[in-house]
Structure 1
């Protein structure tokens, strides 16, 4: 069994969605002062590599603690969308090329290399048609970006006028009870088919939670 770490580091240097709580990792107790070490963490439920629950956008959607634990060990298939540029939609044709016998579709854009920079917010995103097709197939979705929809920029540079408003991809997928795993990294390391384990922290009534995402591959 070979494993690949697909998780972003959960620290203050990473990117957070605009308006979300910042991540803070600070000493609470130290060996020198207290004889032991404890670290204080402050973060949002969608910090770092994380899983979105349907309740993230839907008032009547399921929370993460209502999802069976075995669900988070996904049979994943990857598609390569590294040819898509900044703020470019990923269309239905791109995602429909994937085999439909998997649990989760992983969309590799390569955008994780911009983690910790403003450029990370200019990622490609799923078109509404692509998200609807994925929802119809019952796919959970994983991305190496902060969002399956376009992420708003605080300081716009080159504006696109054709970006959808709101969260249509989120609504199509979460509305079909599909889970989202966002802020993945290292998606070029495993093969096209692998087991993606992304177990979220056991936060009660969670609309989302950070997760340690790991690819597992049975090697001959």
Structure 2
């Protein structure tokens, strides 16, 4: 058995979705002065590598604490999208056949985009069309992505945005309508095989709409 860490490290000032709360560490005590070292960590529930619950964008939908811990262990199938460039759509034509999807709890879209983590280019990740996300959700598959979102993220360079990009969050909407999860900001999916087990366990936050996770591939 091999374990591959698919998690971006949590660090002060790390990248976050545009307009959301920055991640901050504040040291509160030290070994020298207080006998123990401790910090206060400020981060949004959707910072770093994290899982989205359906209640994130759907009123009345289930939150993290409404699921069993085993629901965050996924039989995952890799979808190779490394040929997609900046802000390219991932469409139904890019998805695996029915038989492959039937054996999966989650489709992990490997774009190689995690190599741009910490740069403005990271915002220009490929994205799922609403139809592609609906295809996944209708086959009872959650989704994992190497980007801030399965939907387009506002670019640091607005001229890079395309006229045909969807408005709103159609991929989120399609997945949450079928009670599926979205695991965002996965790292280095190109390092895992076509089939693996994804462990992505959030803290048991009451009413949690999302939570950072330690995402680990078992293969």
User: Secondary structure of 1:157's match?
Assistant: helix
Structure number with the higher helix fraction is 2
1:157 Cα offset (Å): 2.8
Aligned to 2:4: 4
1:131 Cα offset (Å): 0.8
The TM-score normalised by the length of structure 1 is: 0.95
Pairwise mapping of residues 121-200 of structure 1 onto structure 2 (< 5 A)? 121-200=123-202
Aligned to 1:42: 42
Aligned to 2:31: 31
Q: Deviations over 1:154-175 (max 9, x none)?
A: 5413231000000000000011
Please give the alpha-carbon distance, in whole angstroms, between the structure 1 residues aligned to 2:114 and 2:13.
14
Aligned to 2:71: 71
Please give the alpha-carbon distance, in whole angstroms, between the structure 2 residues aligned to 1:175 and 1:129.
13
Aligned to 2:105: 103
1:68 Cα offset (Å): 1.0
User: Secondary structure of 2:213's match?
Assistant: strand
Please give the alpha-carbon distance, in whole angstroms, between the structure 2 residues aligned to 1:172 and 1:96.
18
**Pick from 202, 205, 208: which aligns with 2:204?**
202
Moved over 6 A (4+): none
Please give the alpha-carbon distance, in whole angstroms, between the structure 2 residues aligned to 1:59 and 1:14.
29
Q: Does 1:19 align with 2:19?
A: yes
How many equivalent pairs are there? 217
Please give the alpha-carbon distance, in whole angstroms, between the structure 1 residues aligned to 2:180 and 2:56.
12
5+ residue gaps in structure 1?
none
Q: Does 1:51 align with 2:89?
A: no
In angstroms, what is the RMSD of aligned CA positions?
1.2
